[in-house]
């Protein structure tokens, strides 16, 4: 079965039909979903969904868009570690740098990112990284922090350049393919995934955003990760079944708090 390694099931887009969304995911062969935290102050919402649905786990963290908001400015390593003590939490994040929108000052983004790295390192659980239009600073920080102490991490929705991809892989990080890899214009991105080691790749939706072809322009949902996986399998020259096995194994290796029995909804609520 497939794993959607990054979705936002607590977002209002899904509030009216979450049960149906999860059923469609199951019918599409998606056996596990990781719902990603974007606000420490709203962690209760994403955790409640993971508590109710055994096929859903969660992360906790503050998206770089929100790090300068009053409700999130006081977040500390201790805050994140306390939230991550919840049994349905599998990782820290998402955190990172977004220079496309610059909704928060860049120094604040970097400080928050380093704080999230510290929490992931302290707990020994993976960090989910958001990086957009910030390749040079992202690679600088990753190299700096890895030299200070190793940690595991996933470059989610990877759509950056080859230098960042290769640098992240050299540091032991994983790359996740989203619907962006299915877009016609993105041959360079497909080439990056073609050349990356299969054992370091995951798939995701980032739903409700970035629906893959042929659903592009619609609200995304976890079931659609199957379309991205099919394209990635073609890029890698393997069968969809082999791609599903590999990416699910990779997910469970990285997010080691999650038992293999949870794939398909078998984990305890």
Give the start-to-end residue ranges of the domains of the chain: 2-262
What is the CATH code for 2-262? Answer: 3.20.20.140
Q: How confident is the model at residue 264 (pLDDT cuts 50, 70, 90)?
A: confident
Residues with Cβ within 8 Å of residue 119, at least 6 apart in sequence: 77, 80, 81, 84, 92
Express each pLDDT in 207-227 by its tens digit: 999 999 999 999 999 999 999
Q: Is it the case that residue 268 has pLDDT exceeding 80?
A: no
Express each pLDDT in 50-79 by its tens digit: 999 999 999 999 999 999 999 999 999 999
Q: 246 near 252, Cβ under 8 Å?
A: no
pTM, two decimal places: 0.97
pLDDT at position 266 is 55
pLDDT at position 265 is 65
Q: 179 near 212, Cβ under 8 Å?
A: yes
């Amino acid at each position: 079965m497939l794993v959607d390694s990054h979705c936002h099931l607590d977002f209002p887009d899904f509030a009216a039909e979450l049960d149906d969304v999860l059923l469609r995911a199951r019918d599409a062969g998606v056996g596990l979903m990781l719902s990603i935290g974007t606000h420490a102050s709203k962690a209760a919402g994403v955790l409640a969904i993971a508590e109710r649905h055994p096929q859903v786990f969660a992360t906790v963290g503050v998206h770089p868009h929100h790090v300068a908001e009053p409700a999130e400015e006081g977040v500390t390593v201790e805050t994140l570690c306390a939230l991550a003590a919840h049994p349905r939490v599998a990782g820290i994040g998402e955190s990172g740098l977004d220079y496309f929108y610059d909704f928060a000052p860049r120094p604040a983004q970097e400080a928050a990112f380093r704080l999230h790295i510290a929490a992931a390192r302290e707990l020994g659980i993976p960090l989910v990284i958001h990086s957009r239009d910030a390749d040079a600073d992202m690679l600088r920080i990753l190299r700096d922090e890895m030299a200070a102490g190793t940690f595991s991490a996933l470059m989610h929705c990877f759509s950056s350049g080859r230098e960042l991809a290769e640098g992240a892989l050299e540091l032991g990080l994983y790359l996740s393919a989203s619907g962006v890899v299915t877009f016609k214009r993105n041959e360079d991105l497909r080439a990056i995934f073609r050349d990356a080691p299969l054992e370091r790749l995951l798939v995701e939706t980032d739903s409700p955003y970035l629906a893959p072809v042929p659903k592009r322009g619609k609200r995304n949902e976890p079931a659609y990760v199957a379309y991205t996986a099919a394209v990635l399998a073609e890029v890698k020259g393997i069968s969809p079944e082999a791609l599903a096995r590999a990416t699910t194994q990779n997910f469970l290796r990285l997010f080691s708090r999650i038992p293999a029995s949870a794939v398909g909804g078998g984990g305890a609520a």
